Amino acid sequence: MSREALVGNITAMLGDAGFLVSDRCAVRPKSFDLAARRDDDVLLVKVLANIDAFDAATGAEMRRLGTYLGATPLVLGLRTRDEELKPGVVYFRHGVPVLSPDTAVELFVEGVPPLIYAAPGGLYVNIDGEVLADAREDREWSLGQLAQELGVSRRTVSKYEDGMNASVEVAAQLEELFEQELSAPVEVLDGAEEVRDGEPEPDDPEPDPTDEAVVTVLTRVGYTVHPTQRAPFKAVSEDASESMLTGHSEFTRTAEKRARIMSSVGEVTRTRSVYVVDRTNRENVDGTALIEREELADVEDADDLRDLIQDRIDLEEPA
């Protein structure tokens, strides 16, 4: 299956699951392909046939964007270099959860969360320690008796009851012994924080030198500017009341394309979008406000900028 067909299938699947899905981010470089929202759940989705192509820089960017936009970064893919992704399993690459399309259908369409995650050494399950302890006590077994049944140490059983995760094989043994489910789902939409690999929180990159004047103005009027490197926008700018997708360049066909993508992503993430250009006779592109650099330099405060953006969005653009 081509990557384009895979993106189309995943877009359709998310739509069937009740998500509002953005236009595809068909510009390069790009850290994600789609944004999607269902109620309060927001996703930033990267689609890859081979997930080994997902590198550390893209993972760090997706995690940063997830923090700024209140979204879960997620990779959907088919295989690694060596094997197909298993259904019902959450993988991780550079701190980002990875699912196969089948697992995504189970989660988003059928409402069945995955119970297994991959980590160095094999496949693991979240054991509900309290349920396990209750089951053992109901059976009137000591820690030592259960340890003997499992062929592990008493200390290991104690750790399971304290919340340590178990291998798939041990989890299956436990559920067979007690004839009940003991596994807790992997909370993908919460970023799978309990089981994700220990990636450090990524720092913001330095802004592009050509954007420094724009960053200076936005900072002066009260915004914190988070530069990006691989998104269809140059930064996410935020103050106490809102976040704003921010672009900057000459107004070319590529800039117009980026502005349209920003509008679509902004609709999904409920975020304003503004594109700073050198010169234009247009007011907006599909809801992304266009502001000339000289106009931006005259902005006095955040409210002034918000009013300017709203005026540009309210004006109808010619068809």
> 59: domain CATH number?
3.40.1350.10
Quote the domain boundaries for residue 156: 124-184
The low-confidence residues of the chain, meaning pLDDT below 70, are: 191-200, 315-319
- The CATH number linked to 176 is 1.10.260.40
Is 197 contained in some domain?
no
Residue 77: its pLDDT value, please?
95
Residue 319: its pLDDT value, please?
47
- Which residues 6+ apart lie within 8 Å of 247 measured at CB? 232, 233, 234, 255, 258, 259, 262, 273, 274, 275, 276, 288
Residue 163: its pLDDT value, please?
82
Task: Name which of 22, 26, 28, 32 is nearest 54 in CA terms.
Answer: 32
Q: Which run of H or of E encompasses 172?
A: helix 168-178
CB 145 within 8 A of CB 151: no
Domain shared by 131 and 108, yes or no: no
Task: Name which of 269, 265, 307 is nearest 286 in CA terms.
Answer: 265
Task: Name which of 70, 72, 103 is nearest 85 in CA terms.
Answer: 103
Maximum pairwise Cα distance, the chain: 79
Residue 8: its pLDDT value, please?
94
Is 199 contained in some domain?
no
Is 147 contained in some domain?
yes
* Dihedral sign, Cα of residue 253, residue 258, residue 259, residue 261: positive
Cα 81 off chain centre by: 23
Task: Name which of 126, 143, 112 is nearest 181 in CA terms.
Answer: 126
- Reported as a single tens digit per residue, the pLDDT across 242-297 is 899 999 999 999 999 999 999 999 999 999 999 999 999 999 999 999 999 999 99
Residue 317: its pLDDT value, please?
53
Q: What is the pTM of this model?
A: 0.89
Count of the separate structural domains present in the chain:
3
Residue 315: its pLDDT value, please?
64
Domain shared by 261 and 218, yes or no: yes
Q: Which run of H or of E encompasses 288?
A: strand 288-292
Domain shared by 90 and 19, yes or no: yes
Residue 204: its pLDDT value, please?
83
Is 292 contained in some domain?
yes
How many Å apart are CA 95 and CA 193, to the nearest integer?
9
For 259, phi then psi, to 5°, come to: -65, -40
